[in-house]
Amino acid sequence: MIAIRKSPEGRPSRPEYLLVAALAVLLPHTIIADEFPTDQADGDIFFDIGSMNAKPSLGFGWSNAESSGSRNYRWITHHEGDVHFELQGVRDIELWVESQPLFLIYMRQVVAVYINNRFAGEWMCVPAHEFEVTRLEIPARFLREGANTLTFRSAYRAQVGTEKRELSLCVDRILLRLH
């Protein structure tokens, strides 16, 4: 919690205002969204993570493709998983992720997002066996022209039941929407 002290005129005093402004710049806004966007706009970068089309873009940390019902997905089997993508121009982007954490009744999974090794935001997953959609706004200053790396870093991974792998986050699809 941040306490803001106001001046006699009702404006935040300078040191506290700068602290709040700095936090807003350092911690971009993460939102749990209702639905993954189904419309594709020019410039969007889309990854159906469980498809073979996504495999060349996946770096460290990913399992083999799996499917269940209408979903094709991959698990991140380490504490982090990388996705590589190219940009022709640097602009702000919205990152949309449809994912499901490894559900453990006694823990909540926290996922941090890094762009080119810079912390861009994080979210706490819902404590349930279901997929959720998360949207994160990423400012252009985190990106560069050409090759970029998106990294999901999970708070924990675990082996459950008869599963031989340690799992952290199951990802169905990712959308990078340029502004």
**Percent of the chain with pLDDT strictly greater than 90:** 64
Global pTM?
0.80
6 pLDDT exceeds 50?
no
158 pLDDT exceeds 90?
yes
**Percent of the chain with pLDDT strictly greater than 70:** 82
Give the closest residue to 36 by CA, choosing from 97, 93, 83, 92.
97
In the chain, the N- to C-terminal Cα span, in Å, equals 31
Tokens of 85: 């993508």
Instruction: List, for residues 123-135, the tens digit of each pLDDT value.
Output: 998 877 889 999 9
Mean pLDDT of 49-68: 96
Query: Has domain 28-178 been given CATH number 2.60.120.260?
Result: yes
Tell me the β-bridge partners of 81.
152
CA distances from 18 to 14, 106, 118 (A): 6, 38, 21
Residue at 126: amino acid letter:
V
- Report the C-alpha gap between 87 and 71 in whole angstroms: 27
Higher pLDDT, 69 or 95: 95
- Report the C-alpha gap between 153 and 137 in whole angstroms: 17
Mean pLDDT of 52-67: 96
